[in-house]
Amino acid sequence: MELQELYGLMDRFAASGLTSLEWEHEGERVALRREPVLSAAAVPASLPAVQAEEEPAETVAAPLVGVFYAAPAPEEPPYVTAGAQVKKGDTLCLIEAMKMMSEVPAPADCVIEEILVQDGEAVGVGEPLFRVRRV
């Protein structure tokens, strides 16, 4: 399978409502999985009303499947830490996919409230990486 074909398959999977996909062709096998996303309609009525009143946290999500790296190299400091203020476009982390590094930029001027994944952890498309507060 060519790299572009794999990316196309990943894009279609991300755009679908599927939570898993297995594809095999000519001896090559690809398996994609993600956690199901609960809609507001799926939340049980027994939950306290307080949860419905809270503002949803704004997150920066993984744009692709890969490995999360907090720093440009193992011996270097991380791009951001909790509490750091960043400008729109600043690099927040790297995601490695197929030996290619992709920068994840800040979507706006914001403060990093929380880093939601560990360095070296595998992430999926749409998985929250950072909780942020716009400034």
**What digits encode the pLDDT tens for the residues 20-39?**
777 777 888 887 776 654 44
Count of residues making up the chain: 135
Question: What are the residue boundaries of the structural domains of the chain, listed by start?
Answer: 1-36, 56-135
Best CA proximity match to 92, nearest among 42, 52, 130: 130
Task: Give the model's pLDDT for residue 75.
Answer: 93
R_g of the chain computed on alpha carbons: 17
Task: Give the model's pLDDT for residue 28.
Answer: 81
Best CA proximity match to 76, nearest among 94, 63, 59, 97: 94
Position 72 pLDDT exceeds 90: yes
**What digits encode the pLDDT tens for the residues 34-67?**
665 444 444 455 555 555 444 457 999 999 999 9
pTM: 0.61
The domain defined by 56-135 folds into OB fold (Dihydrolipoamide Acetyltransferase, E2P) (2.40.50)
| Mean pLDDT along residues 65-87 | 95
